[in-house]
Structure 1
Amino acid sequence: MTVFINGVATEVPRGPIDLRSMFGQDVMLVHSTGALLPANEYGILLHSLQMGESYFLVTRSS
């Protein structure tokens, strides 16, 4: 399915998304509304992305 990440159309699988394997360590996704998408300790999103929605990939500050 297609979502927009930082304004770029991106194909992602339906279901759980592994942020670490897709984008590397220390990143998180934020919905265009400003809501942080929760992920578990392994970097797997706890909620599915929604087709056509916009998200922002941001780096976590340590």
Structure 2
Amino acid sequence: MAESKRTATLTLDGKSYDLPVLSPTVGPDVLDIRKLYAQADVFTYDPGFTSTAACDSAITYIDGD
């Protein structure tokens, strides 16, 4: 995924956290939340794993078929 200069801001309990926006090969842009737990002490919740990008690979493209 290519990192851009774009960010999204999450505000939680009066504190703001800037999340980098990444551009995948296919599909919508994604938010990089790798540092969210370390910075804000929270996890994300995605029941059914329906709104989460699973991985990033520099050597292969997995199309899901």
TM-score between the two structures when normalised by the length of structure 1? 0.30
| Greater relative contact order (Cα < 8 A, sep 6+) | 1
Larger Cα Rg: Structure 1 or Structure 2? Answer: 2
Output the TM-score relative to the length of structure 2.
0.29
